[in-house]
């Protein structure tokens, strides 16, 4: 009855804090650009935890890995050593065998948006073969609001269309 | 008279070899996805050297930095520890104050394309202010064929249009 | 009157928490050994903050850098992705132009000591020339207990002996 | 008859070249200190290859891993972006279930010694259990000169004493 609109589901961001490490800077005095992808990965890990499961357990107990198929990052302002940053992560797509995350990195001190990005993932087993999400995990990724609507008989993860 | 068509200019790839480091792998047993951006940076450094200048000198002597504004990578097949890889780099766009590079990473042993990517850069001074390329550097990036056509009076770097 | 014994000063550990990143693991499934030095650096940064100053400010406002001269690490047990770790840092030596830190990394879940280490540093200016600590900083590193004893006229940082 | 003295064996250095990556520098403008351990690992990989085997194959075909138990590095001079460096690696100890490597990093342009280091390793299987070197590998690490003396009946790897 009270199923949330998809916009609601995908607009819920999870936020995690981190502090820029000395090792993450380069000779320009700012954060080296590859490190943003590492922060996105921290965002994903904490997004899963906030949704009630540990990504480590999903790998180790369910033989399901979120292999990265694509990454995109737009660098909007430099980040500096010891800056406190908010990594904001949300789900932008969820299918039976793949998903996408969107990210924003914001500096806490001045609210400056540092970067925006996106990653696309395919679910595989340990040998790299594509598989679908283990039982219950897609639902957990969608969050508690959806769990309720699920019980009303709706199926939210979309079927993969022809590619 | 014999000015090369732009397609020719941009289709010239520079190739550099590297070997996957143990530190670049992760618990999945394959290369961690952020490392591809580090390899792209090596591709850029060696592309500049092949065009007759050192990127380090451009930073230190000309106060010109190629700050990354955007990165994109598509991961097509996993790379493994000790794999020998060819990083192929070419210029895909050159303007007065910006440029774009395209990349391909290919495994030497089996010719497998590991990834494809692109980065967009803005030219800045050490303080981060946007500037145009230092005298002569845009021409060098275009390569010797272009230098010849340049002397025939053609200007290849395009003007920045309205954004 | 109530000056603390040196053993007390040096036995005060600062503790900071971190979580193992996916990027920090390698194909053995455990944390790659170079990352421990990055964690030691986080320990130093937070040790300074706990002593009332920001290491970033010391670099930027006082032109004083703690350049690493030596590092040592003993790896006692593997650390795994998503482990929560306590990085314990203390001062083991403080001279006019140099200092040493000692470290312990402990897994929170089972109390296992993961590693022990030490780093030696020299104070330099931005150009790399050795200098002494900026006014007041050596005292701050020693902590509030020492500040009190300092006011009683004692000088705690030892003079550099002949090397 | 012509068995080499141990000093000879251990004094043979293997040399490999690398170039400092932009990602390896930090805001001080020099190479970040943890990266030296990554270079030592490259030195080990290439030392093995020069001794006639691939370390990757030893892991994958023989279930034998050289887990790091200790690392030490002394930083003697800064290294800069784009510096060409020689990583010199030699064996300093070889026992049935452990070994040690020594390293020197030298800048090619001026011969400056950048750092010196040492790592200690234990041989384990994939599950982390200590084991002895797989058949023939200790001999290969000692090099061809030793192989000859081996055939004369001498056993070079020392027995582990009580620890």
Of D28, D68, D72, the CB nearest to C75: D68
Best mutation target among A20, A21, A22, A27 (most D Cβ atoms within 10 Å) is A27
pLDDT classification of A7: cutoffs 50, 70, 90: low
Q: Is the pLDDT of residue D6 over 80?
A: no
Question: pTM, whole model, 2 decimals?
Answer: 0.89
Average pLDDT (C101-119) is 98
Question: What is the token pair recorded at D137?
Answer: 């590998």
Residues of A in contact with B72 (CB under 8 A): 70-73
pLDDT score for D10: 78
| Residue-wise burial string across D25-40, b where 16 or more C-beta atoms lie within 10 A, e elsewhere | bbbbebbbbbbbbbbb
Percent of chain D with pLDDT over 90: 80
Residues from C contacting A (CB-CB < 8 Å) are: 21-23, 38, 41-42, 45, 54-56, 80-82
Query: Of D26, D57, D63, D125, which one is the catalytic site residue?
Result: D26
Residue ranges of chain B with per-residue pLDDT less than 70: 1-9, 145-163
* Chain center to CA of B84: 20
Q: What is the pLDDT of residues D23-49, one digit of tens each?
A: 999 999 999 999 999 999 999 999 999
Residues of D in contact with C72 (CB under 8 A): 70-73
Q: Is the pLDDT of residue C6 over 90?
A: no
* Chain center to CA of C137: 14
Tell if the CB–CB gap between B71 and A70 is shorter than 8 Å: no
State the residue for tokens 């980065």: B119
pLDDT score for A143: 83
Q: What is the pLDDT of residues B56-67, one digit of tens each?
A: 999 999 999 999
D125 as an active site residue: the answer is: no
pLDDT classification of C5: cutoffs 50, 70, 90: low
Residues of D in contact with C28 (CB under 8 A): 65, 67
pLDDT classification of C162: cutoffs 50, 70, 90: very low
Give me the interface pTM, i.e. the ipTM.
0.87
Question: What is the token pair recorded at C141?
Answer: 């590193």
Q: What is the pLDDT of residues C57-66, one digit of tens each?
A: 999 999 999 9
Distance CA C35, CA D37 (A): 9
**Using an 8 Å Cβ cutoff, are D62 and D56 in contact?**
no
Selection from A125, C21, C85 nearest residue B33 by Cα:
C21
Q: What is the pLDDT of residues A89-107, one digit of tens each?
A: 999 999 999 999 999 999 9
Residues from C contacting D (CB-CB < 8 Å) are: 28, 33-35, 37-38, 41, 65, 67-75, 78, 128
Percent of chain C with pLDDT over 90: 80
Of B34, B41, B70, the CB nearest to A74: B70
pLDDT score for B155: 42
pLDDT score for C10: 78
Query: Closest approach of chain B CAs to the CA of D6, in angstroms?
Result: 30
Q: Is the pLDDT of residue D146 over 70?
A: no
Query: Closest approach of chain B CAs to the CA of C28, in angstroms?
Result: 6
Residues of B in contact with D23 (CB under 8 A): 38, 41
Residues of C in contact with D115 (CB under 8 A): none
Question: What is the token pair recorded at B25?
Answer: 């792998």
């Amino acid at each position: 009855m009270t199923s949330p609109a998809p916009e609601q589901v995908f607009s819920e961001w999870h936020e995690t804090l981190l502090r820029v490490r000395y090792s993450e800077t380069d000779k320009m005095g700012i954060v080296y650009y590859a490190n943003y992808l590492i922060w996105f990965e921290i965002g994903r890990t904490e997004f899963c935890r906030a949704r009630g499961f540990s990504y480590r357990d999903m790998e180790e107990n369910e033989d399901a890995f979120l292999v990265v198929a694509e990454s995109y990052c737009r660098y909007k302002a430099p980040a500096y050593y010891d800056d406190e940053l908010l990594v904001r992560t949300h789900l932008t797509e969820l299918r039976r065998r793949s998903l996408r995350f969107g990210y924003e990195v914001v500096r806490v001190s001045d609210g400056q948006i540092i970067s925006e990005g996106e990653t696309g993932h395919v679910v595989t087993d340990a040998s790299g073969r594509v598989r679908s999400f283990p039982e219950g995990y897609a639902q957990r990724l969608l969050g508690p609001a959806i769990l309720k609507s699920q019980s009303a008989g709706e199926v939210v993860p979309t079927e993969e269309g022809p590619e």
